[in-house]
Amino acid sequence: MSILAKTQLQQLQLPLAISQQLADLRYRQGLLSASSSLSTDLLAGMAVKSQLSASKIMAAKDSSPNFNYSQALSYLSTIKAQPLSCALIKALHQQLNPQGGRWRSVKLKVSRRDQPDKQLLVPAGQEAIAAAMELLVSEFNQAIHNGVEPLVAIPLLLMELMKTFPFFDGNRRLALLLARQLLDHQGYDVVNTIDLESEMIATERAFYRSLNHSDSTNPIPWLSYWWVLIRRLYQRFDRQIQHANISPGRGSKTALIERFVKQQQHPFRYGDVCRAFPTISNDHIRMILRSLKERHIILTEGKGRGAVWRLC
């Protein structure tokens, strides 16, 4: 039985300060959901940049050729509507690592990330891990069905997963991918436009400290960590929207692309702009770039597919 079991959840008591964190996140998501003034092109561009940022920071953190975080991120878009299952978790891990997707079979002794001088002994056994994961997924789905707040259920699922250590490697990467998928599925779609990976890396020590200081009897440090992290996503989202200072409607596409172009410190290609704004047609982007060239904001070097643009 995991902490997500009904009897365990009924015993979970949240201190007032922690409850206020949760209420603040609900409020922020309510504001975001109720806003009809945000440009869909701006949001789409932010989503693309979020994925690029997440892929870049995870690759920089661990350059292991066995893992492809970018590929796993792309795979997420194909499973958004699927309920959580062990098959989905294994498939997602296999997207991370072509040799992955199999429950761990060996016993591990790993150093604690928050206290390297201490070690954790992680038990082995594919059958035991398979049974534990099946139970965990079942209890999570039941908790969501019963109306448990997703901002409680999702971090608790991730805590149990990290402590089970179901795969030989890549468990933290998997937890981040699941956090993205599950939070988005439950309506906390800020994870689509602001990458949580950079926030986790920036608070890596707190991530492991809160994990190692939490268990089924006291998950508060872990819950608090995740709520602070998600709050930082909303704060970054607000700053980016304010910085963009672009209102919806006529001319917003031109303003978005002009702002993007002026931020480029190095030569860029037409395809770079298309990837940054996937909801704007290629012909429209071409027209805007041509206008910027005529206004002597940018100039082009070369022709055809090899052509590059740069600021004048």
Residue 175 to residues 3, 10, 157, 293, Cα–Cα distance (Å): 17, 25, 9, 45
Residue 101 has pLDDT above 60, yes or no: yes
Overall average pLDDT of the 283-302 stretch: 86
pTM across the whole model? 0.76
Residue 248 has pLDDT above 60, yes or no: no
Overall average pLDDT of the 61-79 stretch: 85
Overall average pLDDT of the 197-222 stretch: 93
Sequence ranges of the chain with CATH classification 1.10.10.10: 252-311
Lowest mean pLDDT, pick from 30-39, 65-74, 108-117: 108-117
Tokens 């030569």 belong to 267
Query: H or E element: which one contains 301?
Result: strand 298-301
Residue 113 has pLDDT above 70, yes or no: no
Residue 114 has pLDDT above 60, yes or no: no
Q: Length of the chain in residues, anyone?
A: 312
pLDDT at 249: 45
Domain 252-311, classified CATH 1.10.10.10, yes or no? yes
| SS3 category, 268 | strand
Residue 104 has pLDDT above 70, yes or no: yes
The neighbour count for residue 52, using CB atoms within 10 Å, is 15
Q: Domain spanning 6-244: which superfamily? A: Fido-like domain (1.10.3290.10)
Residue 195 has pLDDT above 80, yes or no: yes
Sequence ranges of the chain with CATH classification 1.10.3290.10: 6-244
**Dihedral class, residue 68 (left if φ above 0, else alpha if ψ from -120 to 50, else beta):** beta
